[in-house]
Amino acid sequence: MVLVDITKLSIAEKNCALDKELAHCRDTATKLKELEKDNRDLTKQATMHKRILVTLKEELVLGKLKNQQLTSELDKLSQELEMVSLHKELLLQDNSNPKYKILGGRNEMTLKMTLAMKEEKIVFLEAQNQQVAKDRQHENLQKQQKQLTAAYEALLQDHEHLGTLHKHQSEAYGASTAP
């Protein structure tokens, strides 16, 4: 009879130990599944961030190229304007010759028109350059808003995940401490 009681006690102890080990394995499996889900989510986020980065780099390069083009055109127009001013000065200095006076009057009118057109083009290019900068800033703000929205949604998911994890751990703790 004592042998039977000892055997029953030994089996009960082993059963209790196996129950604890099983509960631990279940907790570990649950945590593993949650970690795998977190890993998938983080991988998706990393991929999304890489795509955004590539897009931003491309837009930056395009913006720089457009800016260089506008700057080059502005420099070219400034040089032309300078040349027009030099020609005007030369014509005004050479007023002593009558044929230059006639040509000077015509050229002065042409120069004034050309000068006015060049100045208008410069003003237009400067306005266009400012608009490009504003558009680029607007696009950057929209991208930042999207990134912040994505980060907010990720934080909400993390919060829900942590709530679920807390619930599971509370249940596991309650089950392990129950008599």
Model pLDDT for residues 127-142, shown as the tens digit of each residue: 888 888 888 898 888 9
Distance CA 95, CA 103 (A): 10
Residue 169: pLDDT above 90? no
Band (pLDDT 50/70/90 cuts) for residue 106 is: low
Distance CA 121, CA 127 (A): 10
Identity of the amino acid at 52 = I
Least confident piece of the model among 9-18, 79-88, 161-170: 79-88
- Cα 29 from chain centroid (whole Å): 37
Q: How many other β-carbons are positioned within 10 Å of the β-carbon of residue 104?
A: 19
Which of 22, 32, 16, 30 is closest to 169 using CA atoms?
30
- Average model confidence (pLDDT) for the chain? 83
Distance CA 94, CA 104 (A): 9
